[in-house]
Each structure stands twice: as C-alpha cells, then as structure tokens.
Structure 1
Amino acid sequence: MAPVNIQNVQKRFGAVKVIHDISVDIGDGEFVVLVGPSGCGKSTLLRMIAGLEEVSDGQIRIGSREVSNLPARDRDIAMVFQNYGLYPHMTVADNMGFALKLRKADASETAGRVQKAAAILGLEKLLDRYPRQLSGGQRQRVAMGRALVRDPKVFLFDEPLSNLDAKLRVQMRGEIKAMHQRVGTTTIYVTHDQVEAMTMADKIVVLHDGLIEQVGAPLDLYDRPANLFVAGFIGSPSMNFIDGRIEEGSFRSDKGLILPLPQGLDLQHLGGKPIVYGIRPEHIRAAEGGIEGKAAMVEGTGSEIFVKIDCGGEQISCLFRERLQIRFGDMLGFAIDPASVHLFDKATGRRL
C-alpha cells in the first residue's frame, strides 16, 4: 500500500492540452473514484499514473518515489481494464499467476497467491477452466485476481464494469468494494457512472474538460456541490435547475413560479441578481394545497414514481417514494423542503 500524490500534472497532445494543472492527494489505503463525462480526461489521468501515457508537466509520486518518468513495470501498480485481456489458451489459474511466472517467482509461492486471491474472489472452483468457459462477471473477477496476486502498492481500475449488464454491474461493484475492504490496497477507479462513484468511493474527484471541479466524500458532493456542473452530475435523477431572482424574500422564476428559500439566508446581496435555484427530485413531496402543476410525464418503477410536473412552463422533476396513483395530465400539488434548496450564481455557476 502507498499514498499517491499528483502535483500540477498536465497532459498535451501536440498543441492541445487535455489535462490542466491537476493536483490531488490520495491517502494510503483510500478508494478514490475519478468521475466525469466522456472526454473529461479521467482515463488519461489514470494512464499517466500507470505509466502508459507520458506526463507533459508536473509530478506523480507513489509512496516516497517520484514515478513520473518510470516505465509502467517499475511503478508497482496493477491495472484492471474495461477489456478483460485474458489469455484464451491459459486456465484461470495460469492467467492469474502469469505475471509472477514472468518474474520467475517460486512456483509454490505463485500457487499460494493464486489460491488466496481465488478465495477472496470466489474463484476456487473455476481455476481449471478457460476464459471461454466463463461468464462476463467471472472473467472480470479473473482480471481482478490477476491484479491481486501481484500484491501491488496501488490498484488502478479503468471502467471495469462497462461491458456488464445492469444487474451484474451492481453485483460486481459490491465485490470490488468488498475486496478493497479486505485487502486495503490504495485504489484509483475511473468511471462515468456517478452511481458507481457514490456507492464505492471514500473520496470522489469530479473532472470536467481536463479540470477538477470538486474533490470530496460522496455525501459532501451530494449535499454541497461546488457548482452547477457537480450539482447536475452527482445524483440520479439530476437536480432541477430553475432560472430566476430573489424578490421580497422568495425566489421568483423567470416564468413567475414562486418557490421557498432556506431560512437564515443573507438576502441583502442577492436581491435582483440572476440566480439558478436547485432542488433534487427526491427532496420534493406530494402535498395538497402546495405548489400546483400538471403531470407531463409519469414513470413508475414499483418502489418509487418519477413525475415531471408542468408549472406554468417550468418543468419540475419529482421523485415520490409513496405509492401514488398519478396519471398523465393529472393536476397535483407538491412541496419543496427549503432546507434542501441550493442556490447558484447564474453568471459563474458557483454555489452561493
């Protein structure tokens, strides 16, 4: 295990800069998730940590060593890719132990490490099979086992669950988190799926256009997003954003909808200023006599019902946990929890 320190790292492809002066500290044994939309630079950053991409500027340290210019084989890391990359002519056991064989490790030591990794990942009964005889989830566990037997200082995961179906992704993210809790190795995990990030991470790094937008614990990002991008990216379904201004102690949208504000706000410097009002769908409840609108879309999943309500041209997304009978076109009332409201500066996007 080892901490990872990324200091003022930049990456350029020719004249195009794709990573802009990124700095982040990853503690020893932490599970850190790099999350963001496609093209934000998260996989490029991971590949620079792995030694698969050159660092244009800045430093990367693993433990006490600077590794910015070291080849990948000398960094004491293990990487699990989206593509399992298993050798089809080798058994599961041979695939898992291949890196140790290349190092000319003792055969009994290799067998012991393979057995230990197989026990952690539930692969004991599959060691004599070939990759073609395994399911997608089993192949991904073998790829994880191959990394695990190397006993590296840092695990790197590059969107390892993208090729799996939805149910298997849920199972596998639980297995990866459980493996980390048992082994305790520093782990850096890349995904575009914010649900994966929220459920697995000790710390999340949100990237956008090669820049860090916010770093923090999952609930910190959920409760106090630094800006509009983070607020819209973290949380599913996405936060409602409504443009307007504060007038006479309340928020008035550009289309005339009056919405409540949190208590204790200093409204003196906000009056008349263009503001974006944010509220998560799950922080809205059905309420007779509340704000009224017409159901413009209704989706039920059994445990909850997702409704878009048209309030005079403002579309408000609501997520109700009650078993409500709502049909398209119905008029219904709702109430917003003022304590859960977020306000953002429209010009800068920053949280107020």
Structure 2
Amino acid sequence: MAPVSIQNVQKHYGAVKVIHGISVDITDGDFVVLVGPSGCGKSTLLRMIAGLEELSDGEIHIGSREVSHLPARDRDIAMVFQNYALYPHMTVAENMGFALKLKKASPAEIKEKVHRAATILGLDALLERYPRQLSGGQRQRVAMGRAIVRDPKVFLFDEPLSNLDAKLRVQMRGEIKAMHQRIGTTTIYVTHDQVEAMTMADKIVVLHDGYIEQVGAPLELYDRPANIFVAGFIGSPSMNFIDGRIEEGIFRTKNGLTLPLPKDVAASAHGRDLVYGIRPEHIRAAAGNIEGTVTLVEGTGSEIYAKLNCNGDEIACLFRERLNIQFGSTVGISVDTDHIHLFDKETGKRI
C-alpha cells in the first residue's frame, strides 16, 4: 500500500489541453473514484498515473518515489481494464499467475498467491476453466485476481463494469468494494456512473473539461455541492434548477412562481440573479402554495418519479409514498427548506 500524490499534472496534445494542472492527494488505503462525463479527462489522468501516458507537466508520486517518467512496469501498480484482456488459451489459474511467471516467481509462490486471490474472489472452483467457459462477471473477477496476485502498492480500475448488464454491475461493485475492505490497498477507480462513485468511494474527485470541480466524501458532495455542475452530476435523479431572484424574502422565478427559502439566507443574496436547487427526493406531496400539472409519471414500485409544470417552471419530484398520480392531474407539493441550495447565476458557485 502507498499514498498517491498528483501535483499540477497537465496533459496536452499539441495545442489542445485536456488536463489543466490537476492536484490531488490520495491517502494510503483510500478508495478514490474519478468521476465525470465522457471527455472530462478521467481516463487520461488514470493512464498517466499508470505510466501509459506521458505527462506534459507536473509530478506523480507513489509512496516516497516520484514516478512521473518511470515506465509502467516499474511503478508497482496493477490495472484492471474495461475489457478483461484474458489469454483465451490459458486457464483461470494460468491467467492469474502469468505476471508472476514473467517475474520468474517459483511455482510454489505462484500457486499460493493464485489460491489466496481465488479465495478472496470466490474463484476456487473455476481455476481450471478457460475464459470462454466463464460469464462476464466471472471474467472480470479473474482480471481482478490477476491484479491481486501482484501485491501492488496501488490498484487502478478503468471503468471495469461498463461491459456488464445492470444487475451484474450492482453485484460486481459490491464485490470490488468488499475486496478493497479486505485487502486495504490504495485504489483509484474511474467511472462515468455517479451511482458507482457514491456507493463505492471513500473520496470522490469530480472532473469536468480537464479541471477538478470538487473533491470530497460522497455525502459531502451530495449535501454541499460546490457549484451547479457538481450538484447536477451527483445524485440520481438530478437536482432541479430554477432561475429567479430573491425579492422581499421570497424566491420568485421568472414565471412568477414563489418558492420557500431557508431562514438563514444571506442578505447579500437579495436582488441577485440566482439558481434555486432542490433535489426531487426533498419534495413531498402536500397541499400547499405550490401546485403543478403532471406532465410525466414513472413508477418503479418503491418510488414514483413525476414531473410537474408549476406555472411554467418544470419541477421533478421523487415520491416514496404510494400515490395515485395520473398524467394531466393537479398535484400539490411542499419543499424541504433544510435541503435548498442557491447558486450564483453568473459563476455557478453555491452561495
């Protein structure tokens, strides 16, 4: 295990910059998720940590060593890719032990480490099978086992669950988190799925257009997003954003809808162009001042997701009660003022 320090790392291809001076410190043993939309630079950053991409500027330290310009084989890391990259002519045991064989480890050492990794991942009964005889989830576990046997200082995961179906993704993300809790090796995990990030990470790094938008624990990002981008990206379904301004202690939208405010709104916010943020799960069905016409209803059994047209402003709601909501009907709602977020319209920053 080892901490990882990324210091002012930049990457550009000619005149095109894709990573703009990123700095982040990863504590020894942490599970850190790099999350963001496609093209934000998360996989490029991971590949620079792995030594698969050259840095244009900055430094990367793993443990006490600077590894910025070391080849991948000398960084003491293990990487799990989106595609499993298994050798089809080798058994599970041979695939898992191949890196050790290249290092000329003894057969006894290889067998012992492969058996230990197989036990951790529940692969004991599959060691003599070939990749073609495995399911997608089993193949991904073999790829993880191949990384475990190397006893690296850092695990790197590059969107490892993207090729799996929805049910298997849920199962595998639990297995990856459980593996980390058992082994404790520093782990850096890349995904575009914010649900994966929220459920797996000790710390989340939110990237956008090659910049870090916010770093923090999952609930910190959920409860106190730094700006509109983070607020919209973290949380599913996405936060509602409604334009307006505070007038006489009331938030009034451009369409004339009035929305409640927390008691501690700063005086400096009055009269400014703002964006009112409220998550769908913090809205309740209730008789009150806010009414809307239902424009969409989606039931999942345990929840009802609905969109309401409230005087021209669209508000998404997530109801956990069993309600009889029909398309075109009128529904009253109330907003939990303890979970309201206000953002500056011009800068996008939370106030």
Q: TM-score with structure 1 length normalisation?
A: 0.99
- Residue deviations 1:223-281, cap 9 Å, x none? 00000000000000000000000011010011111000111222x21221100000000
1:40 deviates by 0.1
Residue 142 (structure 1) aligned with residue 142 (structure 2): yes
Question: Partner residue of 1:255?
Answer: 255
**3-state secondary structure, aligned to 1:138:** helix
C-alpha distance in 2 between matches for 1:348 and 1:69: 37
Which runs of structure 2 are paired with 1:229-244 in the superposition (5 Å)?
229-244=229-244
Secondary structure of the structure 2 residue equivalent to 1:318: strand
1:274 matches 2:241? no
Q: 2:269 is paired with a residue of what secondary structure? A: coil
Tell whether the 8 Å contact from 1:263 to 1:339 is kept in structure 2 after alignment.
no
* Match status 1:306 vs 2:312: no
Retained in 2: the 8 A contact 1:292–1:311? yes
Structure 2: unaligned runs, 5 residues or longer:
none
Residue in 1 aligned with 2:290?
291
Q: Give the distance between the partners of 2:268 and 2:215, measured in 1 at CA.
A: 28
Take 2:270 and 2:74, find their aligned partners in 1: how far apart are those partners?
A: 58
List structure 1 runs of 4+ shifted beyond 3 angstroms: none
- Taking structure 2 as the reference length, the TM-score comes to 1.00
1:173 and 2:177 are equivalent in the alignment: no
CA-to-partner distance for each residue in 1:137-184, whole Å, 9 max, x for gaps? 000000000000000000000000000000000000000000000000
Aligned-pair distance for 1:15?
Answer: 1.1
Computed over aligned residues only, the root mean square deviation of the Cα atoms, in angstroms, reads 0.5
Q: Give the share of equivalent positions with the same residue, in percent.
A: 78
8 Å CA contact 1:306, 1:320 repeated in 2: yes
**Residues 193-204 of structure 1 mapped to structure 2, 5 A cutoff:** 193-204=193-204
SS in structure 2 of the partner of residue 182 of structure 1: helix
Q: Deviations over 1:113-154 (max 9, x none)?
A: 000000000000000000000000000000000000000000
* Structure-2 residue corresponding to 1:186: 186
CA distance in 2, matches of 1:329, 1:92: 57
Equivalent residue number for residue 321 of structure 2: 322
SS in 2 for 1:269: helix
> For the residues of structure 2 that align with 1:14 and 1:143, how far apart are their CA atoms?
35
**Deviation of the 1:289 alpha carbon:** 3.0
Q: Matches of 1:241 and 1:139 in 2, distance apart?
A: 42
Measured against aligned partners, the alpha-carbon deviations of 1:24-70 in whole angstroms (never above 9, x if no partner) come to 00000000000000000000000000000001000000000000000
Distance in 1 (CA, whole Å) between partners of 2:312 and 2:97 is: 61
Distance in 1 of aligned mates of 2:96 and 2:269 = 60
Tell me the amino acid that sits aligned with residue 24 of structure 2. Answer: V
1:348 aligns to 2:347 (yes or no)? yes
Contact 1:43 1:158 in 2 (8 A): yes
